A and B are shown apart, each in its own frame.
Chain A
Amino acid sequence: METLLQQIVNGLVVGSVYALVALGYTMVYGILGLINFAHGDVLMVGALVALQVIVFVQKTWPALGTIPTLLIGLSAAMIVCMALGYIIERTAYRRLRNAPRLAPLITAIGVSFLLQTLAMIIWGRNYHSFPQLISTAPLQPVDGVFITPVQIIILISSALLMVALILLVNKTRLGRAMRATAENHRVASLMGVDTNKIIAITFIIGSGLAAIAGVMFSSNYGVAHYAMGFTPGIKAFTAAVLGGIGNLGGAMVGGIVLGLVESIGAGYLGSATDLCHLPLWAQSASLQATCANGGSFELLSSNYQDIFAFVILGIVLIFRPTGLLGERVSDRA
């Protein structure tokens, strides 16, 4: 039982980071219909800038507590990433606003490579150990189930950020302008919405969220690296599609579902297909030898962790081609 609870906790933590990153994909897609493949790399820049600033602050003002240090690092990362998001939009995407859809997609991949290479030149190829300023000493809220304070903070702050973002889009003037731009940016601009500004703001918000996700990711795992954006980027993209790309609530649901599916899949796929659990009469002699003394013979194991996640994605897309919550709610709003 505690194993299942632990797997759910694992899945929620991983899933909420996916969800936070997925928000960035989905916001940009909702407004521009563009998959911003550089998003994962903005996350990486956020983590590495925070690392740099935190190390500097620790050296210069060692008396400053851990939380102020982390907040300074986080703010610096957010400012740099927001500026970066604006620059990327201004230089790489704005000129291609009316180009065929494939053109900005290719540019996005190009920007992704560019950011990785720049980061590699600046921060080197080594894995950096990221200072874990929030405690990672495990707590046991339930006997046998472990969660660290940093993971609790990840869960709470991603939930808060997602709610804040949904309120921003649905309840504010800016949000209304964003929804109008998403629906039809030509018409919106005729109605007096400065669509270029709105799109720039979308990129800035998305990149700020990526910076937060990057700092959370690195605080949890204690590593930062110039290629670290790739895997969360791909997973978050998957989560966004799973939930219904362009849909903010979908990104949240998709991220959490993907996280849970991965951890439950990796945790139970093996035992569920363990031939040693077959009744003894069905086992061959060689299998019995393998199973003796607590051995196992798993048909499918954690080897298939990622495949399992994508099988779920496939099934969802067959029955609901627009994802769990449907695509681009704003179209229908």
Chain B
Amino acid sequence: MKKTLIAVAVLGLMAGTVQAQEVVVKIGHVGPLTGNIAHLGKDNENGARLAVEEYNAKGVSIGGKKVKFELIGEDDAADPKTGNIVAQRIVDAGVKGVVGHLNSGTTIPASRIYNSAGIPMISPSSTNVTLTQQGFPYIFRTMANDAQQGSVIGKYAATKLGKKVAIIDDRTAYGQGLADEVEKGVKANGGTVSSREFTNNQATDFSAILTKIKAQNPDVIVYTGMDAQGGPMLKQIKQLGIKTRFVTGDGGCTPEFIKLAGDSISDAAYCTQAGLPLDQIADKGFKDRFKKRFGADVQIYAPYAYDAAAALIEGMKAANSSDPAKYLPALKKVQFKGVTGEVAFDDKGDTKFGAITMYQFKAGNWVALK
């Protein structure tokens, strides 16, 4: 009796030590989980969560110890003030790396906090050029930036769709930055910008600015902002009897946009997406695994959030350490096959393999143009 008791106790101790050897490494994700674009924030979080769960299932060992990654999801409400507070909070919570934020407007101010705390941050979707031009060694992104995207839109609009272009942006860091690049792209390719108009990311009525644009009779209207405004805007374009082509950036390149535009959308609508279309990404099974795990379709950036989380983990594996200062050099040099394709960063922290795809609306869907 006594012997069995001791045996049980010993077994218990052993079990205890086995558990103690499993180290928990926290990875943060920040994006808007409330507010206008909460659906996109949740999409990103799910992408990062899937990466973390799949690496956990495979089993990762760092420094000879089995590691369990834990994703801490936080909400920045797409608001720069909240973004900074949340950034400080997850730094204090001891995360070893951060995936996020979603919007350029929140990512840029928060990047300073991560950089001074020495925590690597990889944004899956902030495309504003400034983010990686601040000289912050800890800041990366897995998405092509606005300079690349804007020049593609500007060139396409001015050379393929018509010379006279009106540009509307939503006055966020993303919309404004992208619109500036579109304007440069249009002018560089011999087009003119008939006007720059502005709205905001809460607006639902665009009739006034659209009426003004109508009077100038442009060939193309470019909107740089999110789907929540872009869809209703396209409706109002039709209601005001405006017949021009419509181009929007990656924020509008979503199934949501098509739903919101209803019967107003036609093959005169185009959008661009930094990165590859979902059916052209390297990992064909991603879409189904995502749907199976979360019961929701991929909105836009989830594959890039997956790769951002994967890059952090690959960096830790390569350096054999989860200490940010130790794995940062490995993260800078990391190169692996992610779900979107090859993942690697240039010396600024921008992605090396940033692709831009142009889409046109055809038969109920955004169809990638070759």
Taking the closest CB of chain B, its distance from the CB of A27, in whole angstroms, is 24
Q: Is the interface of A mostly helix, strand, loop or mixed?
A: helix
| Cβ contact within 8 Å between A267 and B202 | no
Counting CB contacts under 8 A, is A180 at the interface? no
| In contact, B260 and A223 (Cβ under 8 angstroms) | yes
What distance in Å separates the Cβ of B345 from its nearest Cβ neighbour in chain A? Answer: 31
Interface residues on B, range: 35 or more
The answer on a CB contact under 8 Å between B256 and A126 is: yes
* A30 interface residue per 8 A CB criterion: no
A294–B192 CB distance below 8 A: yes
Comparing A103-111, A237-245, A301-309, the segment that makes contact with chain B is: A301-309
- The residue among B209, B211, B214 with the most chain A CB atoms within 10 A of its own CB is B211
Identify A125's interface contact among B38, B164, B238, B262, CB under 8 A. B38
Pick the residue among A225, A271, A293, A302 that contacts B228 (CB under 8 A). Answer: A225
Q: In angstroms, how far is the closest chain B Cβ from the Cβ of A20? A: 15
- Please report which residues of chain A, range 245-273, place their CB below 8 angstroms from some CB of chain B when the two chains form the complex: 262-268, 270-271
Assess the B211–A129 pair: CB atoms within 8 A.
Answer: no
A129 to chain B, nearest CB (A): 5
A129-B260 contact given A138-B238, A223-B232, A302-B212, CB 8 Å threshold: yes
Among B97-105, B107-115, B193-201, the stretch that binds chain A is B193-201
Determine if B207 and A14 form an interchain contact, defined as CB atoms under 8 angstroms apart: yes
The answer to whether the Cβ of B204 comes within 8 Å of any Cβ in the partner chain is yes
CA gap between A231 and B256 in the complex, in Å: 21
- Complex Cα gap A293–B218 (Å): 12
Choose the segment among A2-10, A62-70, A313-321 that binds chain B (4+ C-beta atoms closer than 8 Å): A2-10
8 Å CB interface, A1-24 against B: 3, 6-7, 10-11, 13-14
Which A residues touch B227, using CB under 8 A?
127
C-beta contact mask, A62-103 vs B, less than 8 Å → 1, else 0? 000000000000000000000000000000000000000000
Which B residues touch A266, using CB under 8 A? 197, 208-209, 212
B194 touches A267 (CB 8 A): no
Determine the residue in chain A with the shortest Cβ distance to B192. A293
- Contacts A3-B211, A221-B205, A263-B207: A146 and B262 contacting too (C-beta < 8 A)? no
Cβ of B38 to closest chain A Cβ, rounded Å = 3
Cβ of B39 < 8 Å from any Cβ of A? yes
B211 to chain A, nearest CB (A): 5
In the complex, whether B12 has a CB less than 8 A from a CB of chain A is no
The interface of chain B, by Cβ under 8 A from chain A, is: 33-36, 38-39, 42, 164, 171, 192-200, 202-205, 207-209, 211-212, 214-216, 227-228, 231-232, 235-236, 238-241, 256, 259-260, 262
